[in-house]
Amino acid sequence: MKSIFRILLFAMAMTAFCASAYAQKDSRQRMTREQLAETQAKYIAQKMEMDGTTSEKFVETFCRFQKEIWALGPRPKREVSGRTDAETEQAIKERFAHSQKILNLRHKYYEEYSKFLSQQQIVRVYELEKKMMDRLYHRSQKAKTQKR
C-alpha cells in the first residue's frame, strides 16, 4: 500500500512539475514584425562591426525597407491547378508584378545603402539577411512539423 501511495505521489508531483514547466514555455511572447526587423538590423550591424553612426543609419534604413516590403502584401499563391488558361495567365502576371515591385524596392534601397556602405558591405548585408531568412524559414518549418 505504501509503495502504491509513493508511486501515486510521485506521478502527481511529475504532472504538476511538467504542467508548470510547459506553462512557462508558452509564456514567451512573439516579437512583432517591427521588433524582428530591428533585431535583424542590429544583428547585421553588429556582425559587420559598423560604427555607431553607420549602425544607426543602417537600422533605420533596413526597417524602412522591411515596412515597404510588408506593405506590398503576401506573395500571390502559386497553385494553378483547376484554373482556366486565362486565370492561370492572370495569376502568373500578378506574381511577375509582385516580383517586380520587390525588385524595384531592392534597387531603391541599394541606392540608399550605397550612400553610407561600400559595395562589399552591401553584398555582406545581403548575405547575412539571406542566412537569417533561411534560418527563420527552417525554424518555422520545423515548428510546423512538430505541431502535427
Domain count, the chain: 2
Q: Is 75 left (phi over 0), alpha (psi -120 to 50) or beta?
A: beta
pLDDT bucket at 148, cuts 50 / 70 / 90 = low
The CA-atom distances, in angstroms, between 48 and each of 19, 58, 108, 135 are: 42, 11, 22, 18
**In this structure, are 19 and 65 located in the same domain?**
no
Q: Where are the alpha helices (DSSP H) in 72-118?
A: 85-114
Report how far Cα 108 is from the mean position of its chain's Cα atoms: 21
Closest Cα partner for 58 from 117, 106, 132? 117
Same domain, 14 and 70: no
**Separation of alpha carbons 89 and 113, rounded Å:** 36
Mark whether 39 and 95 lie in a shared domain: yes
Cα dihedral: 73, 79, 83, 85 (round 10): 80
pLDDT tens, position by position, 38-85: 999 999 999 999 999 999 999 999 999 999 999 998 887 777 677 788
- Its domain, for residue 101, covers 31-147
Please give the pLDDT value at position 46: 95
Co-location of 1 and 38 in the same domain: no
